[in-house]
Structure 1
Amino acid sequence: MLHTPPGQTGPTCVRVAVSRAPDAEQAAREAAAQIQNAATCFVLCFVPGHLDCQVVASVLDDTLHGLPVFGCSTAGQITTQGYEVNALLLIAFPKSHFRCSSVLFEPMNPLSSTDVAAQAQRADQRFQHTAGWHRLGLIFADGLSKQEDILISTLEAVLTDLPIFGGSAGDGLLFEKTFVLHKGNALSDAAVLLLVETDLPFQGVGFDHFLPAGLDIVVTDADPEQRKVFEINGAPAAQEYARLVGSSVEDLSPEIFAENPLLIQYNGNHYVRAISDADEDGALSFLAAIDDGLIMTLGLGQEITKTLKTGLDIRDRRGQRPDFILGFDCVLRKLEIEQKQLGGAVSEILADARLFGFNTYGEQHCGVHMNQTLVGVAFFVPDERTFF
């Protein structure tokens, strides 16, 4: 059912539909029933880990009579109620405000940057421009492909006038298989690029809650293809990391990794290189690109609710708040929030900001694949508003 928290109005430029049914077919039919099919250009769909993605994709394709549906499996959803884990979330983008074209990249691994560049350029050239409308790109990628770094840097290089925002698909922290949705199909080892045109003014969103500690940490042995680090500062990676954060190797956990990430510097900015796990041999697995000789530093966490409020305090040139924000929020942020028992407070902030989206295995923004970041797009009501 549609739900807006007490005292808050919902978005006027998109329609948000949610089902919490435990069965994939039932959830898809319940959510689809809330969509105004004839008025909709395309739908974004974010699927909880317990639902069969292929069933959801097929039922939505049938129920919505071929209306384009894109999206992915998730490690959590962000609905009108904030953080959820069992909600099938649909966001319907109306024809009155949006146009869309899609590109499917398959397979992801191995990824041919030449093929990606050619496909993206062809799609961009074919996507006719509407006078006075604005363009952006949305990317959803297999979160276990380990190819997002190459993908987003290639797209940024060839689509130079197109800001691109996105998230890597999750699976509820199982790290087994993730899916992207493309026109009735659920696909692993794939990515979907949406070229979107809108008459709504928009602003990019991207922030984390870490500052660099200032101490250089050097990767001295790594496998870039597998995103594995075997040595840091000449010592076994897990052992050295544990020493740096004041833990024992045995106590390393997703919560410790979430609260003590490593940062890299790129183009004058610091980006998180998050750790997913430590294996029995003492190697650390990362969720973004890593290489021999890479210099990093520990991230010092700031107060996460404060940085969230500040980051989402967005205004347009008239001083108006966004009509809605499409958001991609790293699951490791959510882990830290839950560990600190801040889930309720954060959900209230997200709901108040009208942010809808999902918890990711990585985020894409400014040509970079990153972690432990909230990335998104804030859309504003135009001067001449058309209600959906």
Structure 2
Amino acid sequence: MQEAATPPVFIHVATSRAVDPVDAVREAAQGITAADTCFILAFVPGEQDTALVARTLAEELAGIPVFGCSSAGQITDRGYESDALLLLVFPKQHFRCSSLLLSPLLPLSTTQIAAQAQRHERKFRRTAGWKRLGLIFADGLSRQEDLLVSTLETVLGDLPVFGGSAGDQLRFEETFVLHNGAAHRNAAVLLFLETNLPFSGIGFDHFLPAGAQIVITDADPDARKVFEINGAPAAREYARLVGCDVLDLSPMVFAENPLLVQFNNTHYVRAISDADASGALSFMAAIDDGLVMTLGQGQEIIRTLQTGLEIRGESGARPDFILGFDCVLRKLEIEQKQLEQAVSDILRRESVFGFNTYGEQHCGVHMNQTFVGVAFFPPEERNFH
């Protein structure tokens, strides 16, 4: 029997496992009041009708801003789940929020997005003694997250931005973001937050570079497709490098054997989503001709998760909660290795809540097979007045 997790103090967590979207919203929304609530983050199961969920949330929670996205899985008070509507309720006592819908992402105008983000950030009135951060939720099938987050990093200066790409449980068909009572495709939601809670960013994966360098010799950057690696057909060469037959390539093989790219002395995962009939490989983050990469060698995923989440505040306090964006390919590997219960126990113990993504955003970089998050700590005594 699972040990009961200690619920967070400074946000309210609501879930529903009802299959019907309307029933799920009504169950999860019970007891949430506009008088106390600043905003809500909603992470919707990829199997549910996200547009219907968005409309029903607007009806049931009139007057409360709701943001979020469709998800490839949820991180709830039970740990990993796949079919739970998750609502994270952020109270006015500790949070202020302003939102911006960025649409369309394709075609992406960096000039327009830069101007919108700067203008919106300047209009967001500052509260003395409170600190700021940004959250970004992007359509996970737009293929524009790399350019989007690098643009935001450039124009927003010292504002830290964290986020994840909307998913749909590895179907790669439709992903949505939520804003103003509607579900949007080809869009992103940028949230500017102020909080009187101390916070700290988190970002880690479980791969180290291994083996010889690999060169992308033919690619379509816009489509994130690679046709040749080392001058050979991409899928065939990749299969040779990982030691399997090209016919045996699968999401599990891709999850355990990603390619890594080095940037600012740090290696980032460039995950492969699939191999098509022509032998091309589709990637979940930026790719280009001439890019030099290496195979990633996986480390023990339980140990790296425990180490990555052992974050403490300046006073040594544990986080009250961690808002987590965890790549769906990590979840896939964990499930295949039958580690789901062990990982869920860790997530529950560390008060992690969030969703499984099609990519993560941190420090101006869009990456894959990474855990990105924000740890929020109990406020200092002066903030209670």
Q: TM-score, normalised by structure 2?
A: 0.98
- Which whole-Å CA distance do the structure 2 matches of 1:270 and 1:132 have between them? 36
Give yes or no for the alignment of 1:162 onto 2:159.
Answer: yes
Task: Tell me the secondary structure at the aligned position of residue 216 of structure 1.
Answer: strand
Aligned equivalents of 2:56 and 2:9: distance in 1? Answer: 27
Whole-angstrom distance in 1 between the partners of 2:49 and 2:4? 35
Partner of 1:378: 375
Match runs of 1:84-233 below 5 Å: 84-233=81-230
Q: What are structure 2's unaligned runs of at least 5 residues?
A: none
The CA deviation at 1:215 is 1.4
Q: 2:238 aligns to what?
A: 241
Secondary structure at the counterpart of residue 212 of structure 2: coil
* 1:369 match: secondary structure: strand
Distance 1:327-1:41 versus aligned 2 partners, 3 A rule: same
* C-alpha deviation, 1:65, in angstroms: 1.1
Does structure 2 conserve the Cα–Cα contact (< 8 Å) formed by 1:217 and 1:296?
A: yes
Q: 1:374 to 1:24 in 2, by over 3 A?
A: same
Shift of residue 181, structure 1, vs aligned partner: 0.1
Q: Distance in 2 between matches of 1:201 and 1:305?
A: 27
Task: Count residues in correspondence.
Answer: 383
Query: In the alignment, is the contact (CA less than 8 A) between 1:17 and 1:34 conserved in 2?
Result: no
Is 1:345 paired with 2:342?
yes
Q: Output the CA distance in 2 between the equivalents of 1:89 and 1:282.
A: 38
Report the AA paired with residue 38 of structure 1.
A
Identity rate, percent: 70
Q: Please provide the CA RMSD for this pair.
A: 1.1
Contact persistence 1:44–1:91 (CA under 8 A): yes
**Among 37, 40, 43, which residue is 2:37 paired with?**
40
User: Residue by residue, what CA displacement relative to the aligned partner does 1:287-314 show, whole Å, maximum 9, x if unpaired?
Assistant: 0000000000000000000000000001
Per the TM alignment, residue 260 of structure 1 is displaced from its structure 2 partner at its CA by 0.2
Give how far 1:83 is off.
0.3
**CA distance in 1 between partners of 2:33 and 2:307 (Å):** 34
Q: 1:79 — aligned with what? A: 76
Q: Any conservation in 2 of the 1:49–1:73 contact (CA below 8 Å)? A: yes
Distance 1:334 1:34 in 2: 32
Equivalent position SS for 2:222: helix
CA distance in 1: counterparts of 2:183 and 2:307, whole angstroms: 36
Q: What whole-Å deviation, never above 9, does each CA across 1:101-122 have from its counterpart, x for those lacking one?
A: 0010111111100010000000
Q: Aligned-pair distance for 1:34?
A: 3.9
- The partner residue of 2:27 within 30, 45, 68 is 30
> Aligned equivalents of 1:38 and 1:84: distance in 2?
30
Amino acid at match of 1:25: V
Q: Does the CA-based 8 Å contact 1:362-1:372 persist in structure 2? A: yes
**Counterparts in 2 of 1:205-354, with a 5 A limit?**
205-354=202-351
d(CA) in 1 for partners of 2:71 and 2:383? Answer: 31
Q: CA deviation at 1:385?
A: 8.3
